[in-house]
Amino acid sequence: MTRDRTAELPESPDDGTLLQKPVDRRGALGLLVGGLAAGAAALSACTPLNAATPKEREIRLLEWEEFTQKHYRRMTEKERAETIERLERLAKLRDNQDVTIATTGAQPGVLFGYAFNISKCQGFRNCVEACINENNLDRRAGTQYIRIFEMENGVVDLDEANPTYQHEVPTPGHFYLGAQCFQCADPPCVPVCPVGATWQEPDGIVVIDYDWCVGCRACMAACPYWARRFNWDAPEVPREEVNPDQHYLGNRARHKGCMEKCTFCIHRTRKGRLPACAEACPTGARVFGNLLDPNSEIRWVLANKHIFRLKEELATEPRFWYFSD
């Protein structure tokens, strides 16, 4: 933690200096489209006027409003509330789901950190299962945020490690190392975004505004840890398996063509709970806590255990440490 860019971030969501790039692009588009809408035949397919049923008409109206939606950090509180109401209503209309989408902000004085015990992990992948269920990950594409590497004892070599093992674990002579988004203090994925759709929150979590993302995948290429995932198609989650406890920047429904990633379960951790992976781990290999609290478990681990991070030479300063007993 030599550098911490989150400290420089302004807290106010309405600060015009937050994004270096011009952000009134969609506003302008909205005005233009609004003016043309009445007469343009090309737009008739998506106008609400020719919807078959009242429900369909409402869905199209709500989708229409999505076009003129602002960037999340530039929304006022009122606009955020309206956006959330619209998203919840859309979930109800489309799939008859009663979801609650939170916009809980970062707690002051909190910086999240993670520690992973490579002596304890047995490679059971319970964390992966919990992550899929908790974050509404695409079941058809089999998206997984967490990868567990099976490695031979003695050396951390990601090129020789096997992340797709499927046999009884633990294998003698091997250890297991889990990787996910490390929420780097200097994240390489953030400055490469051409539209400013991804940024770091004051509590250290790197988040994405899914509705602002254009799906160029530059962040995916920039991440040295392969932590980001792309939605090649609209994610499919069976209705009865959808987690209704959602966050705008976290596990809410994504659409086709946007990036997503681990957010340390932002909808849970901002309410004081553990991330789903840490809670599900059957061996206690995962430690999560507040780095700014000197009496937290994570600080005890960092002070008392042998620790290392992946690819430290890249100076991305991951807030994810590995330790051994």
Partner 1 sequence: MRRLWAAATITCLTIWLSSGCREGHQVRWDQLPPGTVLVPVDSATAARNAALQPGVLATVPAVPVVGWTGPGGRPFEMARRTAAADSGPARRFGTISLTIALRNSAAALEQYPCTSCHQGRRVIMREKRIADAHQNIRPVHPKQTGAKCATCHAADNVELLALENGDHATFDQVYELCAQCHFAQVAAWAGGAHGKRLDGWEGRRVVLACTACHDPHRPAIQPRIPFRAPQLERARSHTP
- What residues make contact with partner 1 under the rule CB under 8 A? 115, 117, 120, 122-126, 128-130, 133-134, 141-142, 144, 147-148, 158-159, 161-170, 179, 220-221, 224-226, 243-245, 269, 271-274, 276, 279-284, 287-290, 294-301, 304-305, 323, 325
Residue of 122, 113, 65 lying closest to 275 (CA atoms): 113
- Provide, rounded to whole angstroms, the least separation between the CB of residue 252 and partner 1: 17
C-beta closer to partner 1: residue 175 or 323:
323
Contact 99, 91 (CB under 8 A): yes
C-beta closer to partner 1: residue 75 or 189:
189
CB-side neighbour CA atoms (13 Å) of 198: 32
C-beta closer to partner 1: residue 64 or 230:
230
Q: At what angle do helices 54-67 and 77-95 cross, to 10 degrees?
A: 140
What stretch of H or E contains 115? strand 112-117
C-beta closer to partner 1: residue 75 or 181:
181
What six digits make up the tokens of 242?
């959808």
C-beta closer to partner 1: residue 21 or 167:
167
C-beta closer to partner 1: residue 115 or 206:
115
Dihedral angle computed from the Cα positions of residues 59, 60, 62 and 66, in that order, rounded to the nearest 10 degrees: 130
C-beta closer to partner 1: residue 34 or 282:
282
CA distance 211 to 72: 9
- Provide, rounded to whole angstroms, the least separation between the CB of residue 60 and partner 1: 32
- Provide, rounded to whole angstroms, the least separation between the CB of residue 63 and partner 1: 29
- Provide, rounded to whole angstroms, the least separation between the CB of residue 64 and partner 1: 33
What are 259's strand-pairing partners?
230
Neighbours of 49 (CB within 10 A): 9
- Provide, rounded to whole angstroms, the least separation between the CB of residue 147 and partner 1: 6
What are 308's strand-pairing partners?
322
SS3 283: coil
- Provide, rounded to whole angstroms, the least separation between the CB of residue 253 and partner 1: 18
C-beta closer to partner 1: residue 17 or 96:
96
- Provide, rounded to whole angstroms, the least separation between the CB of residue 77 and partner 1: 23
Contact 116, 288 (CB under 8 A): no
- Provide, rounded to whole angstroms, the least separation between the CB of residue 26 and partner 1: 29
CA distance 255 to 210: 8
Omega prior to 170 cis, within 30 of 0:
yes
CA distance 93 to 177: 42
